[in-house]
Amino acid sequence: MSGHRSVEIIVWGRVQGVGYRAWTKGVAEARGLSGTVRNRHDGSVEAVLAGPEEAVAAVIEACRQGPPGARVQDLAVRDRDAEPQPAPMRGVQILPTA
């Protein structure tokens, strides 16, 4: 049986202005994940995603490539399981730039 995993993913490179947030939302929702994705002022994209471990791992790997037009230079993942979790939400929300 699959466990639950919650992660924060930060992606650097050419990831703004290429549809990366909408692509991430689609990829994550297709695998049943919930969470948020947004651009950051430093030019990176931040995704906070939760769901079954295997689905989270698949999305992390997909994020290493990104959508057509993106050029991922680096990706960092931090597990958030030890942190208090907000009430469960459905789907992935695109948030304003932070």
Q: What is the set of active-site residues?
A: 21, 39
* 87 exposure class (CB count in 10 Å sphere: 0-12, 13-18, 19+): exposed
Three-class SS state of 36: strand
Say if CB 35 and CB 59 are below 8 A apart.
no
d(CA 55, CA 70): 22
Element (H, E) at 92: strand 92-94
